[in-house]
Amino acid sequence: MTAAPSLRLGVVVFPGINTDGDTHHALETFPGVTAEYLWHKDTDLKGVDGIVIPGGFSYGDYLRCGAIARFSPIMQSIADFAAGGGLVMGICNGFQILIEAGLLPGGLIRNTGLKFVCRYVNLRVETTATPFTSACHTGELLRIVVKHNEGNYTVDAATFEKLKANDQIVVRYVNAAGERAEGANPNGALDDIGGVCNETRNVFGMMPHPENSVEAALAGGADGRAFFQSMIDSLRTAEVTA
């Protein structure tokens, strides 16, 4: 049997990011995948095949979440990488950074109730037409943890209509039955949005933390694997067809 092509995925590290180790570990649970740390002051992406910006509190979340990290030298390299079609995933603070950098639409503001939220949520996959959900099926339910203070996704009315028209809303918060209902949304996000992609579908941001749900032996289960598996499969398919 032929071994799966090897991949190198970059994990970006900013001061204050605190799930870089979790993300690095999660990626290396996939056969043939090596994770590579990318320091925020560097501009060299070290030839990685894809990039993950993990969660935490970059630069202490001063000004706004992700507002300072957006100016780190590595972000221009990431923007160029994305412009060339490279796959970029942002998790929690990573999502916030991608929005601040203009790589994803919208904004992330304080949670409804103005409290930090840490609990498991149910996500419904709204589209599989992205490299980050291609291993899922539409309507699939995934149970993953959230832990954030500014996860309330918002966007202006015109952009919201565009997101819906372009099928850019990737996951929504739902209850255990897969229905949008009171109490399922942990932060007050517009239209129960938990994650979106850009128009070209190669940049994706989500508030929940899939890196903490990759091993079935742990309490959180392994539902988070779906996002990483999709990304890895997409990269390998592109490599084979290149």
Tally the residues of the chain.
242
pTM attached to this predicted model: 0.95
Region of 159 on the Ramachandran plot (φ > 0 left; ψ -120 to 50 alpha; else beta)? alpha
CA atoms within 13 A on the CB side of 67: 10
Calculate mean pLDDT across residues 230-242: 85
Residue with tokens 């598996």: 229
Quote the mean pLDDT of the chain. 95
Neighbours of 74 (CB within 10 A): 23
Summarize the confidence of residues 164-177 as an average pLDDT.
Answer: 98
Tell me the C-alpha distance between 185 and 175, whole Å. Answer: 8
Q: Is 158's pLDDT higher than 70?
A: yes
Instruction: Name the region of 106 (left: φ>0; alpha: ψ -120 to 50; beta: rest).
Output: left
Residues with catalytic roles: 92, 209, 211
pLDDT over 70, % of the chain:
97
When mean pLDDT is compared across 117-121, 155-159, 213-217, the lowest value belongs to 213-217
Strand-pair category, 141-148 with 193-197: unpaired
Q: Residue 62 above 90 pLDDT?
A: no
* Bridge-based pairing state of the strands 203-206 and 87-91: parallel
- Contact indicator for 83, 43 with CB cutoff of 8 Å: no
pLDDT score of 218 more than 90: no
Q: Which CATH code fits 7-241? A: 3.40.50.880
Which of the four pLDDT bands, split at 50, 70 and 90, describes residue 2? low
What span, in angstroms and rounded, lies between the C-alpha atoms of 130 and 136?
Answer: 10
User: What are the sequence ranges of the domains in the chain?
Assistant: 7-241
Q: What is the pLDDT of residues 20-41, one digit of tens each?
A: 999 999 999 999 999 999 999 9
Alpha helices in the chain (DSSP H): 20-27, 73-83, 93-100, 157-165, 225-241
Looking up tokens 């570990």 gives 25
Contact 122, 141 (CB under 8 A): yes
pLDDT of residue 1: 45
Residue 111 has pLDDT above 70, yes or no: yes
- Within 8 A by CB and 6+ apart from 37, the residues are 10, 11, 13, 20, 24
HEC per residue, 183-194: CCCCCCCHHHEE
Least confident of 148-157, 206-215, 216-225: 216-225
Residue 220 — very low, low, confident or very high, per pLDDT cuts 50/70/90?
A: confident
Residues 6+ apart with CB under 8 A from 114: none
pLDDT, position 217:
83
- pLDDT attached to residue 240: 64
* Count of CB atoms situated within 10 Å of the CB of 217: 6
Confidence at 164, pLDDT banded by 50, 70, 90: very high
